[in-house]
Chain A
Amino acid sequence: MRAETGLWIAQRASAAVLALCVLVHLLTIVYAVQGGLTAAEILGRTRGSWGWAAFYGVFVLAVAVHAPIGLRAVMRETLGWRGKSLEAAVAASGLCLAVLGWRAVAGLFA
């Protein structure tokens, strides 16, 4: 498979997952901010909830795939950055997002 085709498939597949996740996330945000946010309220929803953790675990994975591929296009088109150094930076940024995101999910779950 050619690299661009693979990245396109990954970008669109993650976009489809994200479309659902972001919609749920937006609805949750609008619901959660009613009456103000407190740590107790947030953690009451998230602590020990496997469904919540699974949903946001998938959300983070999809973001970690989607955002770096999008940024890669911006780097290539706007900054003219290309080649192996860019591909390495893209992979690293995806890894960082996944680790940071899952760390946050774990922190809210446990």
Chain B
Amino acid sequence: MAATTLDIALWRGDAAGGAFQRYRVPAAQRQTVLDVVTWVQRHVDSGLSYRFACRVGMCGTCAMTVNGKPRWTCRTLVDAAAKDGRLEIAPLANLPVVKDLACDMTAFFDKWRRAEGRFRPAPGLGGDFAVVPPESAARRQAEAGIECIGCAVCYSACDVAAWNSDYLGPAALNRAWTLHNDVRDGAGAARLKAVAGDAGCHSCHSHQSCREHCPKHLNPTASIAGLKRATAWAALKGEI
């Protein structure tokens, strides 16, 4: 028997602190966690702050901590996440809170930049169509990590990110790995150098919390392992 009302605890507060507040929300069929948050905002407190855009698992903006685990709320059914009709919804961990359920994502995306997580066209690119053989090893490696939506679920799940606020994190390193395997990209050693620093790929201890929680079922642990090998070889060859 499904409960007719849900017992919802939403974290309310800002950077200075806050606490959970309880709400009763009517249960509905195939209701998502995001639906629950939206119901509270529309019917109880229009001042509730949270973030979402596409509602179909593409934009990566609606991630929150649901019953202790980071999840994309728009594609998480209440039935799958709730325990006895109870949900505890908090902002993502490892990022500063702006207000209520909305985190400041600045540090998260700054780290993509610091990890050289942007495409750097190789010299001479654009003269003709680039040929990227779909079956090549490099393309397969890139393919495995390329569907990241930047939701920061992995970053929020990561113990190393919690211990070391400088750690580049699973998402930025995964992005660097896909670019490293892009034959059209020319950053090469510069990117490897960027991810081999004090809080780079070698800080990862392969807990695999990122892989465990990635809503797109990507495997940042494997991508980071690839970067560890690539940077080590580059270092031994004197390239970085």
Contact = CB atoms under 8 A, between A and B. Distances in A.
Query: Do A and B come into direct contact in the complex, CB within 8 Å?
Result: yes
Interface of A: 1-9, 12, 73, 76-78
Interface of B: 160, 163-164, 193, 196-198, 200, 202-203, 205, 228, 231-232, 235-236, 238, 240
A3 B198 contact: yes
B235 A5 contact: yes
B200 A4 contact: yes
A10 to B, nearest CB: 10
Contacts, number: 38
A4 B227 CA distance: 13
Central interface residue in B205, B235, B236, by most chain A CB within 10 Å: B235
A77 B207 CA distance: 14
Given A76-B164, A77-B163, A77-B164, A5 B232 contact: yes
A76 B198 CA distance: 11
Nearest to A6: B235
Contacts of B240: 1-2, 5
Contacts of A73: 205
Given A9-B232, A9-B235, A9-B236, A4 B198 contact: yes
Contacts of A12: 232
A76 B163 CA distance: 8
Contacts of B205: 73
20 contacts: A2-B196, A2-B197, A2-B231, A2-B235, A3-B198, A4-B197, A4-B202, A4-B203, A5-B202, A5-B231, A5-B240, A6-B235, A7-B202, A8-B202, A8-B232, A9-B235, A9-B236, A73-B205, A77-B163, A77-B164
